[in-house]
Amino acid sequence: MTMVTYSPLIVIPSDIPQSAITMVRRIARAFHLHGIPMTWALYAQFPRLIALDINRWHDRFGDDVIMMIDLDPIMDPNVNPLDPRSVAEESVRLREILPKLLAEGRERFQEEMPWAEVTVAGAGLKNAELLFALRETGFIGLWGYDHLSERDGPAPFGPFLISEDSPVSTYPPSSKPLLGLPRSSIRLNDLIRRRLPGDPLSQCLWALDQHIESAGWNAFMPFIHELDIEEYGEIATDYAEDLEIFLGELKDRDVDFVTLPKIASDPQLNPEMASTIYLLAEEERELRKILFYHDSSCRMRFEGDEITPV
């Protein structure tokens, strides 16, 4: 039977203050004590102090890294989207500079963390030029799909093989598999439940249980848990007992604990495993049930017992 692969992730800002680094270490310690490896999402301008911590955590617990990309300062704000020539020129420019920036960023990572392969990127803004650059430089995954946002809303929920030229579609398929990954699988709560519990730990366990229930229909079922530094730093500090209970419940569930690069590497060996995904989410108290489905040619959502997609 397919096991859910659980991967906790923290984004580290380039200008992270010392107080936040203290929180990061506190969160990492709690997860590491339960044998759970962490994924660290870093910008190329990451502080060296963080790299020293991650090197130690990689050696002891198997932690890994992904590289964050911010397209906003790279793109030309003067491009006229209604002028085909202007758009084409900007596309050519981005296809020239983005592969270089990705390669330079990877070199910076490997200077401080020689073990890091850096095969997964993370981004908020995504476009066809970024997809091109990622494939050109050997990246295999793109993390950061926020299904509550307007630009990522059309993307399939869960993991999907990104199309050749659209960051939110599976069609047309690409000859170079690039796996799209949700920013946080906990977003399932917001898509299904009308009354959310205020406790993020309860939200995580509910969403994880939906993935576990659906795992048997799939060959591949990752669960991404983004941890906000401030929120989980407070939990680790003021509600440490609750966090321990949560981590104990995680360990009691039938899941595998891996890093994001490991999740992205599996479809490289067998792309078919990620080409079709079924995810059924059910909130019995609200009598709500939604089935998410996507394959290499379409994306559909079914509500309740309806046999036609919405």
Res. 90: pLDDT tops 80 = yes
CATH ID of 4-274, from 3.20.20.510, 3.30.300.30, 1.10.10.10, 3.40.50.300: 3.20.20.510
Q: How far is residue 49's CA from residue 279's CA, in Å, rounded to a whole number?
A: 40
The mean pLDDT value for 71-78 works out to 94
Q: For residue 36, what are the contacts with CB-CB under 8 A and spacing of at least 6? A: 6, 8, 61, 247, 250, 257
Percent of the chain at pLDDT > 90 equals 87
pLDDT score recorded for residue 287:
79
pLDDT tens column, 123-176? 999 999 999 999 999 999 999 999 999 999 999 999 999 999 999 999 998 989
If we measure between CA atoms, which residue out of 221, 255, 193 comes closest to residue 34?
Answer: 255
Kindly state the average pLDDT of the residues 279-305.
89
d(CA 308, CA 8): 35
Strands 120-123, 64-69: pairing kind: parallel
Model-level pTM greater than 0.85? yes
In the predicted model, what is the mean pLDDT of the chain? Answer: 95
**What pLDDT, on a 0 to 100 scale, did the predictor assign at position 196?**
80
Average pLDDT over residues 182-189: 97
Who's near 183: CB < 8 A, 6+ residues apart? Answer: 143, 144, 145, 146, 147, 152, 224, 226
pLDDT band at 284 (very low <50, low <70, confident <90, very high): confident
- The percent of residues in the chain predicted with pLDDT above 70, rounded, is 100
**Nearest by Cα to 102 from 127, 120, 128:** 120
